[in-house]
Structure 1
Amino acid sequence: MFVENKTTEFKRVYVEDIKNTIVAFANCDGGTLYIGVDDDGTVYGVDDVDGTMLRVTNAIRDAVRPDVTMFVECHNDVMDEKPVVCVSVQRGTARPYYLHGKGIRPEGVYVRQGASTVPATDAAILNMIKETSGDSYEAARSLNQHLTFNKSIDFFKKRKVEFGKAQMRTLHLIGEDDMYTNLAFLLSEQCTHMIKLAVFEGSKKSVFKDRRELSGSLLKQLEEAFDYIDRFNRTRAEFSGLDRLDMRDYPPESIREALLNAIVHRDYSFSGSTLISIFEDRIEFVTIGGLVKGIVLDDVMLGVSVLRNQNLANIFYRLRLIEAYGTGILKINECYNDYAVKPMIETTCNAFKITLPNTNFHSQEQKASNTLKMVSSTSVTKKEERINAVLELCRSKGSIIRSDVESALGVSQSTAILLLRELTGDSVLIKKGKTKNLRYYENKHRSG
């Protein structure tokens, strides 16, 4: 008996939703659509065979993306001595196929479920993309095909690199199916992957001082993230004789390389954001996605580079943002060759973290520590005088803050911090409150 099933569909006359069935057949196991046959299998025939075939082929050409015409054959047949239009569809190789006006969303992507044509689920759509594009995120077809590239066009133009349709194909922003890839999505204004930056008070994530969230083209995020971090990369002056030496908290080249590493090497198949945290003593760059399989941290430290996003890295290379693959971590370490503190690299199965130490902060702490040690070793009396001065200050004011010690003893901020830390550790003082509300009190219950 001639009945509808997963690969067979009847339509008594031409209707607009015929294209939904064509999409469903191409996304599944193929099938044949018969126009001129009722749902119960009764053949009524078609009055205008040529006109009907023309409407079908025009609808398929204009409404279905990617181009599915090579998998469709439209011909006429005779059933029960009546003319019928048959539309045979093969399973396509560029799934998911979708309605141009709806996009790669459930309302635009159809599949066969038994004898019915139904919208595909989000999971089914992603599975089809993975099946036809492989495991490479950047090579897979973008779910959003309505992309704009104003910022990227400006960025390429500024660096005198061509960025037309031909170049977009060469750079793999447009795939062989003439569709935008995920790589194009990453460079578009519609990119939803984010960089989140935060500035914290002190060295812990207790109090926010400022924060920023960046989205859109990765090239735009790169510029804005670097400018934001640079605002907090302070310059401190030191003098050698008559010469003034300006010292940045962080070597700018180390920030640039850490930021590029976070953007080029992150795993964009996850939706989590890249996190950049700025503290008083360090900056942390945390990137989603651990090391590529087969690579260990020791390999990275030697300059070995296996790229997760080969095409994205190639674009950054063409834009002269990176000079060669695998040199970023080496450059970061070289930036700290003349400093006692060194960058720290940590990795897990799903994350990569670079910590850049604040060179000025650690230099000041070391100087203050050396000064305190020298004072302690040369004069016990001097230490007692300081303890007595702090205690007298506490008794007269009831409690003190760090700046009180700086003023009363005529010492630097770092020295005051170390002195208060030592007195608290020796139970001479006790502290109450946190950060801005932190105050020190005499410990009246201490022994001795």
Structure 2
Amino acid sequence: MLGPAGERFTENRSVDGSIPFIVNECVRILKRNMKRRSIISGIFRIDEWEYPEEVLREALVNALVHRDYSDFARGMQVQVEMYPDRLVIRNPGGLYGPVDVGVLGITGVTSSRNKALLKILEDTPYFDGHMVCENRGSGITRIRIALTEAGMEPPHFTDSVSSFTAEFPNHTLLDQEALEWLQSLDNRPLSRSQMSALVMMRNGVVMTNSAYRASTGVQDSRTVTRELRDLVERGLIEQEGTRGTTTYRLPSNDPLQTEQTDEPVTTDDDLTRNSARVMAGLSAEGSSRSEIEERTGLKPHQVFRALKALRERGLVEMTGQPRSRTARYRRVPQIPEA
């Protein structure tokens, strides 16, 4: 673990004992070194750990159950490393059997080099009363689902002959800015998986049915097809190709991209056309986004992007809560140069 001053470790512990004890103790140590963040959901405020506890537990169990226990690897440990931007869990021994790293937790294909141990742990209680391994082969699936529910990026898996590594990025896809962007797209509700997929496509990811399942934890291909079709019909994404070659991405004429590549108008401020129109549409007492849309004729996406750019440049300020209907925007008075 890297400390705030750049020190290599803030805590270096070795944990021995039964698998339930090791998992419980590791989770306790990790939580002691984790922060809690507050998520506003409706009128409620929810405090969450940086990493969902279920993700920690399932990842640790997976590493201990599927590690290589042969004579050659017995001197090697399962390693847990926490960095400011990620959590890494590494175990001796790569994937076993006909399992591909790209479809872990997506297909029903499972394989274990330690079948006897897995069977024992299916009947071994954890400290909360549940079994250590409740459903064979479901650990990675539960990890993907838990991360999606927390609005976090999917894990990254690396497989080699001698080791298997699971890496969990320490940031959420659905941050405040992303939530505001999603809110500007459509008044109709989106599922959590649709929200995550849209934000990833916004970040440049070209989505496929299998990539959607891998990224969101949705296992049923028919559900994925239905959710993607819904986004296409609502005009939020574009479909290219058919059947096995189908891909999805944000529309090529998406206002988010248009605003970024819009030619600058000839003004001293060097504003884009959309930004200049938004500036002209602001009243002295402040304007709501809907009022700006009505005055400028711009779409919600364009107004959102222009306001964001203007606020970043210190030309516009906002009053009220970011996601509130009462939020208003007004020009920041400019001090004339001497």
TM range (shorter): 0.3 to 0.5
TM-score for the superposition, normalised by structure 1: 0.36
Structure with the higher fraction of residues in strand conformation: 1
TM-score for the superposition, normalised by structure 2: 0.47
When Rg is computed on C-alpha atoms for both structures, the one with the higher figure is 1
Select the structure with the greater relative contact order (CA < 8 A; seq sep ≥ 6): 2
